[in-house]
Amino acid sequence: MTRIDQLFSTLRESGRKALMPFITAGDPDAAFTGDLLATLAEHGCDLIEVGIPYSDPIADGPVIQASYTRALDRGIRLDDIFEAVGRVAPRIPVPLVAMCSYAIVHRVGPERFIERAKSAGFSGAIVPDLMADEAGPLAAAGRERDFDLIQLVTPTTPRDRALRIAEVSRGFLYYVSVTGITGERSSLPPELADNVRWMRERTGLPICVGFGIATEDHVRTLAPVADGLIVGSALVRRIADASVRPRTEVLDEVGRFVDRLRAALDERPSEPRQCH
């Protein structure tokens, strides 16, 4: 079992669901990223996604796009990210997953990228612009190194194709909640819980929902049907001014936000509610 497999096995045994924040590496700098990773782990997050800034984001909304731009404008590079994560990863008791464009993987070389990412402390990667049908070589290289390549399913993915994607995904299946780009939303599609439930009945792979998850109510609604919930823009927005505010103040705010989500996730209502 990979480290991600072990995480979800432990969570299932205890009846808990994963809280999975997304952050942008290097926003505002690599040192803060290390402090942020430690803070998120201390406040009950189970797995952390680390976005590798790229000049042409694939499905990211304005909040995450702006964070990528800030990091790139300050000169962050892949080497800096691996070095910063590598310094803090041994002290973080949760898996880390890189989210990056395949252009970055291709430039480094798939096998070399996996070797470097794993050495830095990453347990897997999400490559949103790599089609599942073309992911074979990278997935095979990952399997050889106990490094999970996580695939995405979107609301427009035909169900037969969604099942094929689930068969090749490792670690968990990333279920995109809405059509479009990332970003906070006041409501989620009413059919989302039913769609996730349908998928869970057909795969043993953990299903984690992302895009638009921003409030405690979203968490309470989806907790009964999802194995994990991914929170990105709502968190990245709270970090946007970390370069001009006291960093301890920003980290405290992040900790309080995560605490609220963790508490809502642990409430675990007995029956799924309609998304609203």
pLDDT of residue 276: 43
| Domain-located, residue 276 | no
Using the predicted structure, report yes or no on whether residue 94 has a pLDDT greater than 70. yes
Is 216 considered catalytic here? no
Is 245 a member of any domain?
yes
- Output helix, strand, coil percentages for the chain, rounded to the nearest 5: 50, 15, 35
224-242 confidence digits (pLDDT tens) = 989 999 998 899 999 988 8
Q: Is 49 among the residues known to form the active site?
A: yes
Q: What angle do CA 255, 259, 265 make, to 5 degrees?
A: 145
Number of domains in the chain: 1
Candidate list 49, 148, 184, 227, residue with the active-site label: 49
CA 41 to chain centroid = 14
C-alpha–C-alpha distance, residues 170 and 184, integer Å: 27
Nearest to 38 by CA among 76, 84, 104, 5: 84
Supply the pLDDT for residue 23: 96
Comparing 104-118, 185-199, 209-223, the range with the smallest average pLDDT is 185-199
Question: What's 81's domain CATH number?
Answer: 3.20.20.70
Q: Rounded CA gap, 147 and 141, in Å?
A: 8
Q: Give the mean pLDDT of 162-169.
A: 92
The CA-based angle 55-58-61, given to 5 degrees, is 90
- Give whole-number Cα distances, 202 to 175, 207, 208, 227, 244, in Å: 14, 11, 14, 14, 48
User: Do residues 158 and 208 make contact, with C-beta atoms less than 8 angstroms apart?
Assistant: no
Tokens of 255: 């900790």
> Which entry of 46, 60, 148, 227 is annotated as an active-site residue?
60
Which range marks the domain in which residue 174 is found?
Answer: 3-267
Assigned token pair, 31: 């040192």
Whether 210 is in a domain gets the answer yes
Structural tokens at position 61: 């909304």
Mean pLDDT in residue range 31-60: 91
**What's phi and psi for 34, nearest 5 deg?**
-60, -45
- Residue 179 pLDDT: 56
91 DSSP assignment: G
Q: Tell me: the pLDDT tens digits for 96-141?
A: 999 999 999 999 999 999 999 999 999 999 999 998 889 989 999 9
Classify residue 275: in a domain, yes or no: no
Is pLDDT of 176 > 70?
yes
Kindly state whether residue 60 falls inside one of the protein's structural domains.
yes
Residue 157 lies in a domain: yes
Q: What is the pLDDT of residue 30?
A: 94
